[in-house]
Amino acid sequence: MTSTMWRSTLRTFAKKILHTSSVRAPQIRFLSVTTSYCQSYSPIGSLDQPRILITGGLGQLGQGLAKVLRKRYGRDNVILTDIVKPPRHIVDAGPYAFVDVLDFRNLQEIIVNESIDWMVHFSAVLSAVGEQNVPLAIKVNIQGLHNVMELAKMYNLRIFCPSTIGAFGPQSPRELTPDLTIQRPRTIYGVAKVHAELLGEYYHHKFGVDFRSLRLPGVISGDTAPGGGTTDPTLFSQVHQLPFSIHDRSISIHFSSPVPPVSLRPNLSDLIIIVYIFLLVLLLLLLVHHQYFKVHFPLVVESLIDVAFPR
């Protein structure tokens, strides 16, 4: 590869990774080869202190998101909800309520009584558990979504519902996967998320609902234990001091960075070492394949907030 090609590749690679903008309106960042087709629009209204409801709040994303949103919009303006009894630290951190997304009236009451403006819909049966109990996954992931979308329409709520890398299937292109492409997932979780993407688009075009979504990869949380997703074995291996591997068609790299069983969080020096190794691996893969990769490094919560809650 010539020096000119090398500089061009690195420049393109950097543009895919870095996001720098002073604009506070929602930014749609495409990490694939698909041409941008979404229209930019400004946030609805000028709510400085919106009332936010998070369903499925005790899962792998809810607690971390609630912490950030409470710092931004106020402790009492973010209500974490779930169907289980919360630990004491959750109750002390801010408002918590019982909400079953399958109970339309229960969800409607808290939206009305708490004057909710924005909703984050995290309630879901994840992929591994869903394959073991398909009827439950259909009820929670599809019927629950229908309830949430209908209430968003009724009460003019902004709604964020995450999608997943599992929305793609074996027929999807494996390299430089476009945003618009064949999906056809093979899990009920993936099927439900494709349904959510399409239903959200429909409610936006038909009823004007402010619907937003991000296709998230596997998530490992520092706030909560695994919940039945595809990344659970990786977290299990770290907690129990077992090695894990990252494989590429040309390269196989083996990592062994055990974390003491008493803690789910490695210390800072371990994290720095892992990050450096990961960056070196990416550079090595770049040299081997002579192409840039679709890699984006911001925290999941920060990316989610950029799309769902722009300033």
Neighbouring-strand partners of residue 74: none
193 contact partners, CB below 8 Å, separation of at least 6: 141, 163, 164, 166, 167, 185
d(Cα 11, Cα 14) in Å, to the nearest integer?
5
Handedness of CA 47, 66, 126, 215 (dihedral sign): positive
Tokens of 81: 């909800």
Cβ burial 149-185 (10 Å sphere, 16+ → b, else e): bbbbbeeebbbbbbbbebbbeeeeeeeebeeeeebeb
User: What is the rounded (10 degree) CA torsion for 136, 179, 289, 291?
Assistant: -150
3-state secondary structure of 181: coil
Element (H, E) at 150: helix 144-154
Neighbouring-strand partners of residue 54: 80, 120
The answer to whether residues 241 and 261 touch, using CB atoms and an 8 Å cutoff, is: yes
Catalytic residues: 189
Residue 254 φ then ψ, to 5°: -110, 125
Q: What angle do CA 74, 76, 82 make, to 5 degrees?
A: 120
Q: Is 103 exposed, middle or buried (0-12, 13-18, 19+ CB in 10 A)?
A: middle
286 contact partners, CB below 8 Å, separation of at least 6: 9, 13, 292, 293
What long-range pairs does 230-234 form, CB within 8 A, spacing at least 24?
230/126, 230/127, 230/128, 230/166, 232/128
